[in-house]
Amino acid sequence: MPTKISNQDKGVVDELQQEAHRLGFSRLGITSAEPPPRQDRFAQWLDQGFAGVMENWLRRHLPLRSSPESLLPGTQSVIMLATDYDAKTVSSRESPNHGQIARYAVGRDYHDVLRSRLNHLGGWLEHAIPGCKTRGVVDSAPLAEREFAARAGLGWFGKNTMLIDQGAGSYFFLSGLLATVALPTHQPIEVDHCGTCTACLDICPTDALPEPRVLDATRCISALTIEDRGPVEGGLRSHFGNWIFGCDLCQEVCPWNRHAPGTEDPELQAIENEEMPSLIELLRLDQAAFRKKFHDSPILRAKRVGLLRSAAIALGNHPSASGDVPAG
């Protein structure tokens, strides 16, 4: 049952923000549990076939994306949290012997880090407002996190489909805390600060951004190296370069990321030597070695078969780097 908030309890929002910062979250925004906008456009996007291998899962959970109530009965508020990650990771794309990994994936698995923090924040709120129930969400439920975060004022949708904050750019994780109490809400950013810039659209080597704010996941290097573990169309492979897990190109050229703050959070720092693993070393990993090396990493998501396929593509794009390629 929803919990009513008293005038005295309205001051809890300031304390909630302080507690969130103490736990390591960078920014916080609150919105209602009402369905967010853009859901009709999301359905159209699915109908256009842009979801690739994710289509069945996304269609199956489409009604849940805009319904926090279905995830936590009685939800009245969606507390969205942004957590900056290591934006200053140096990537040497000039080294054909190594694989390129998206910045967000060179540290610990953010799901584990943020889930623990959400549990602590939820416990704090339940103690502060008796009767309130909470549920943390970090890619663990089919919630339209970016849409709720935008309505909570955490950024605007860039032309690369990423959520962008004027001060932090787009190098941040999103997570949410559902609450059965009606908290004061924040206002969305109504201005499109992208202006006439098309840098993200222009840089994409596979033309995965056919128009502003539309992503074709069947051509996106990030989607293809993380979610799709099958064969890659020959015409796309040569554009992968040495990206083997994710891709940051459309974020790297964004002007709003020039001064992205990054993070000093030890739990989200890049793990030494993980930024650019040796492609030959990856191809030598058996299943047990793969799980041992990436047990605490988002890279586990690609599974061994997906990561080795991407490593083979990267070697194919740089034949001189193949060296002593294992046969098995």
Separation CA 103–CA 168 (nearest Å): 15
Q: How many residues does the chain have?
A: 328
Q: Is 14 a catalytic residue?
A: no
CA 99 to CA 311: how far, in whole Å?
7
In the 8-state DSSP scheme, what is residue 36? P
200 Cβ contact list (under 8 Å, min separation 6):
158, 159, 160, 209, 250, 251, 253, 254
Catalytic residue of the set 9, 109, 139, 265:
139
Encoded amino acid at 24, one letter: G
User: What is the spatial order of strands in the sheet that 134-137 belongs to?
Assistant: 27-32, 77-84, 172-179, 134-137
Q: Classify 52 as helix, strand or coil.
A: helix
Judge whether 149 and 198 are in contact, CB under 8 Å. no
Instruction: Identify each DSSP E strand in the chain by its residue range.
Output: 27-32, 77-84, 100-101, 134-137, 156-157, 163-164, 172-179, 243-245
3-state secondary structure 240-275: CCCEEECCCHHHHCCHHHCCCCCCCCHHHCCCCCCC
- Residues with catalytic function: 139
